[in-house]
Amino acid sequence: MRAIDYALRQAWASLWRGGRSTAFAIIAIALAALVLGSLLLLTWNVDQLLTQWTSATEFSVFLRDDATSEQRGTIEAAVDQSGVAEGREYVSKAEALTRFRRQFTDLAALTTDLGDNPFPASLEVRVRPGAEGNGRADALVKQVATLPGVADVRYDREWLARMASGLNALRGAGFALAFLMALAAAVTVAAVVRLGLYTRREEIDIMTLVGSPLAFIRGPFIAEGLLQGGVGAVVALTILWLGFKAVGVWWGADLAAILDGASLHFLPIHEAILLVAGGMFVGAAGGFAASRHAT
């Protein structure tokens, strides 16, 4: 405990003594943590949206114009008995036309010139959460498509898969970049801590000669890196939070419209803590590397 207390007191004093060089190390850590934090913020929110959108998946079964009520009954029975559907809604030809006119007001005039209603009746099926992932929804779609009275089945979830794979690629590239920046930050911290080590050379020599335990000799340098890393990560987290708030103020309404009402959230507390812990670890690693030159 005395060694930890001594290390923290010395490290704290050294942080203030360090001036510009300490600020430089903190900025390096903050930049690395900012890249990692932005990536975590982006991927976490996209993950949340994907989960939300995936759970809200639905497919449409378009009926032939000549489909009989018995055929429609067979289709509805197949959907109900599959256990895949959370709910279903029948949209008649007239309702489909009304919807079109409501959603596309500019094109509504076109439909008045048409003699017959071109829109097919359909069954809109909401997929139960989980059924999409285990393939049961796919199986139901294939089964329904073969039933008599069915003109077409639309189950467009390819974009979701593309988005998920794009997100994975982004995550991979982002982590690689964050790793490189963390490495550079650790090297910077090591260089800064080593500078401090040279200014305290006399003290360290005396400590070595009087038989001071290694924990007392090396501890302050590791603690100094740890503090630099922690401060850098907190700075990054603060910048990230301010940026997130600014995006909300300036583009919040546009984003809400794009995201169909879904909202974005800041990093959850456990990820924020992990980010600070990561910064401290990188700093401590740099401090440890420098401390090896002390003895």
Partner 1 sequence: MIETHHLSKLYSRGLYALQDLSLSVEKGEFVFLTGASGAGKSTFLRLVLMQETPSEGEIFVNGHNLTSLRRSEVQEYRRGIGFIFQDFKLIPTRTVFENVSFVLEVLGVPSTQQRRRTFQVLKWVGLQHRMNAYPRDLSGGEQQRIAIARALVNDPALVLADEPTGNLDPDLSLEIMNLLREINAGGTTVVIATHDRELIRLVGRRTVTLDQGRIVEVA
Interface residues toward partner 1, by CB under 8 A: 2-3, 6, 202-203, 205-214, 216-217
3 state DSSP class of 280: helix
Min dist CB 17 to partner 1, Å, is: 10
> Please, which residue, 34 or 204, has the CB nearer to partner 1?
204
Least distance in Å: CB of 206 to partner 1?
6
CB of 207 to partner 1, least distance (A): 5
- Shortest distance, CB of residue 31 to partner 1, whole angstroms? 33
Judged by beta carbon, residue 263 or residue 295, the one nearer partner 1 is: 295
Minimum CB distance to partner 1, residue 197 (Å): 15
The residue among 214 and 277 lying less far from partner 1, judged by its C-beta, is 214
Calpha distance 30→36 (Å, rounded): 10
Torsion of CA 77, 81, 87, 92, to 10 degrees: -10
Considering beta carbons, is residue 114 or 214 the nearer one to partner 1? 214
Phi–psi pair at 135, nearest 5 degrees: 90, -5
Q: What is the DSSP string of 73-108?
A: HHHHHHHHHHS-EEEEEEE-HHHHHHHHHHH-GGGH
**C-alpha–C-alpha distance, residues 130 and 113, integer Å:** 44
List all residues 6 or more positions away from 42 whose beta carbon is below 8 Å from its beta carbon: 170, 174
Choice between 52 and 295, CB closer to partner 1: 295
Q: Edge-to-edge, what's the strand order for the sheet holding 150-154?
A: 85-91, 122-127, 58-63, 150-154
